[in-house]
Structure 1
Amino acid sequence: MEHVTFRNPDMEWDIAADLYFPPSFDRDKTYPTVVSAHPIGSCKEQTSGNIYADRLAQEGYVVIAFDASFQGESGGTPRRLEDPAQRVEDFRRVVDYLVTLPYVDDDRIGVLGVCGGGGYSLNAVMTERRFKAVVSITGVNYGRMVRENSIAQGGPIAAMEAAAAQRSSEIAGADSELNAALPPSAEVAEQIGDIDVIEAYDYYCTPRGQAPNGPATFDVAHGASALGWDAFHLAEVLLTQPALIVIGDKPGGFGAYRDGFEIYRRAASQDKELVVLEGVSHYDLYDQPQGAGAALEKVIPFFGEHL
């Protein structure tokens, strides 16, 4: 593995990424390559890198797991910004970097994303035609999710009003505000009772998946754009590349189960497959053998056929 940073001419900050290489890697050869995108509130060291990138590299792929702009080790301010337009643009920036590498086969680049990274990946391929195939692992339509979650604030309009007020306060000199996506303790998570919330706490807040750059917190003042975004907009027209959608059959509040069925139905791809893994939850698909392990048994032949 090699840690890299790069900057596009249109950027004022660096993107940080880890490149994973196949065994017996030879820089004089060219390889099929996969871009691996981390979940919402996460970082490249969690699931996109240590699970999916690592295994795909073992199977002969060059894989790049990157930190989204404003998150992880990548640059940009404000920190912990979750702006869907920027997140999707990052995919293009990563491909721009990949095509400068002599060992990357420009005609065999695919993309895989986990959770929100899956939703972003599905959206990115609609307008980034250098991607030849896409895999969504328990993909979440982030715009749909934040609109539903805003009900506790009075709905999306009220949430946007709150973001606007916070932004004005910060312009006037107030400190920035971060929104914690997870409950403060395992006991509170259990009281909430949703499987995705319970397992999110277990993943992000215990040694299982905890990482310094993946705190699952979000900037409040700049979050309004997500409320007006839809990962699946125009999928019926623009999502034409081969697509593999992997979900578990244990639905939770984050909505990956129904998002998986929706994008499978709507995608214009002639070559598309929906895999529903029995007895598997959203977070099983991050790092557990019955989840991520089973998903990879589908992902490897899919990329083998299409890259």
Structure 2
Amino acid sequence: METVQIPNLYWNIAADLHFPPGFDAQKKYPAIISAHPIGSCKEQTSGNVYGTALAKEGFVVIAFDASFQGASGGEPRFIEDPSHRVEDFRVVADYLTTLPYVDEQRIGVLGLCGGGGYSINAAMTERRIKAVATVTGVNYGRLMREGFSGFSPIALLESIAQQRTAEARGAERRVDDLLPPSPEEAKRVGATEIDVYEATEYYRTPRGQKPNGLNRSLLSHQGNAVGWDAFHLAEVLLTQPLMVVVGDKVGAFGAYRDGCEIIGRAASKTKELVVVAGWSHYDLYDKPEPVRQALAKLVPFFKEHLS
């Protein structure tokens, strides 16, 4: 593995390159861009689980941190803005085309959770991406308008407006912690809905905890997300082969629902919904059996469409 810094506008994107066994820099390899969930980082499921697994199957995989998050640059920190998140894919694709061992005609993308929605949206207008797959992918804009705003998007936008005004006048930035500090605290405060509780169990215990996977969001910069739709124009612009992997233990973050929706809407002639029976959103992050089942579909999908 190699860690690299990729120039963006006025900051760098930090990324890990995962190489196949017996890697030979004189050869040409297919490449996969692996995108992390909301509030996550490249050292979690996008890199250390799916990135390493796909590299073992012969792909060069680049797992990157979103701008303003993780080890990537950008100020202020903890911005979760879809326009920046989607642009990151283009910047990473730019970088891949400069690597002599990457075949620029064989670049795919894999997105996890919110990274799945971003992957789909990026692929619509980034034609260097030749195949798209998501694992428990979520349309972050839809989630912001619904569960993350308490189904009151206008009230959230009013709060954002007030906070931006306060910050413009010198107030301290408000950074929200999106999860309880521990599973025990989640139970104490009643945060036991399956996705919320299992997110806490993953991110707030040694199972998935990493220094840069902080699950924080800057309130004053959330407005764009409220008005964004990952699937906008999918009926026209999303034509690449598409695979969507979801678990059938349904939670509030809505990956199953979003997966069914994008499979129905995508213009892709080749598209497949893979339902991993008996497993949940966060099971698909790192638990061996559901990850094995997901990879059993993802690996041949990428091999076929990046051949």
TM-score between both structures, scaled by the size of structure 1: 0.97
State the AA in 1 paired with 2:295: L
TM-superposed CA distance for 1:150, in Å, is 4.5
Aligned-partner Cα distance in 2 for 1:150–1:50: 28
The answer on 1:170 being equivalent to 2:178 is no
Which residue does 1:282 correspond to in 2? 281
Deviation at 1:180, TM superposition (A): 1.4
User: Is the aligned partner of 1:142 residue 2:140?
Assistant: yes
The amino acid of 1:172's aligned partner reads R
SS in 1 for 2:205: coil
Percentage identity across aligned positions?
A: 64
- Counterpart secondary structure, 2:246: strand
Deviates more, 1:179-188 or 1:48-57: 179-188
Contact map agreement 1:150 1:159 (CA 8 A) in 2: no
For 2:104 and 2:148, the matched residues in 1 are separated by 41
SS in 2 for 1:244: strand
* 1:1-307 → structure 2 map (5 Å cutoff): 1-8=1-8, 11-152=9-150, 155-190=152-187, 191-307=190-306
Give the partner amino acid of 2:104. D
Per-residue CA distance 1:113-146 (angstroms, 9 max, x = gap)? 1000011001110000000000010000000001
Tell me the SS of whatever aligns to 1:196. Answer: helix
Counterpart AA for 2:5: T
Q: Distance in 1 between matches of 2:73 and 2:250?
A: 35
Aligned residue type for 2:167: E
Aligned-pair CA distance for 1:6: 1.5
Partner Cα separation in structure 2 for residue 43 and residue 137 of structure 1: 16
Whole-Å separation in 2 of the counterparts to 1:100 and 1:52: 23
Q: Tell me how far apart the structure 2 counterparts of residues 292 and 181 of structure 1 sit (CA, whole Å).
A: 25
CA shift for structure 1 position 193: 2.5
Q: Aligned partners of 2:109, 2:25: CA distance in 1, in Å?
A: 21
For residues 60 and 165 of structure 1, the distance between their equivalents in structure 2, rounded to whole angstroms, comes to 50
Which stretches of structure 1, 4 residues or longer, exceed 3 Å deviation after superposition?
Answer: none
Q: Distance in 2 between matches of 1:194 and 1:150?
A: 13
1:171, distance to aligned residue in structure 2 (A): 1.4
- Secondary structure of 1:201's aligned partner: helix
CA distance in 2 between counterparts of 1:187 and 1:267 reads: 41
Alpha-carbon distance in 2 for matches of 1:211, 1:150: 23
How far 1:204 moved relative to its partner?
0.2
In structure 2, the residue corresponding to 1:264 is in which secondary structure? helix
Q: Return the offset for 1:292.
A: 1.6
Q: Distance in 2 between matches of 1:140 and 1:77?
A: 25
Residues 260-295 of structure 1 deviation map (CA, whole Å, 9 limit, x = unaligned): 000010011000000001001000110011222210
DSSP-derived class of the 2:129 partner: coil
For the 8 Å contact 1:287–1:293, the answer to whether it is kept is: no
- 1:172 deviates by 1.2
Aligned amino acid, residue 272 of structure 2: E
Kept after mapping to 1: 8 A contact 2:182/2:201: no
**Distance in 2 between residues matched to 1:50 and 1:233, nearest whole Å:** 31
Q: Is the 8 A contact 1:250 1:280 kept in 2?
A: yes
Q: Deviations over 1:89-119 (max 9, x none)?
A: 0000000000000000000000001000011
Contact residue 182 and residue 205 of structure 2 kept, 8 A:
no
For the residues of structure 2 that align with 1:229 and 1:187, how far apart are their CA atoms? 34
Please, what is the CA RMSD of the aligned residues?
A: 1.0
Distance 1:150 1:138 in 2: 17
Deviation string 1:226-278 (CA, Å, 9 cap, x unpaired) is: 00000011111111000000000000010001000000100110000000010
Shift in Å, 1:151: 4.4
Give the whole-Å Cα distance in 1 for the aligned partners of 2:297 and 2:236: 26
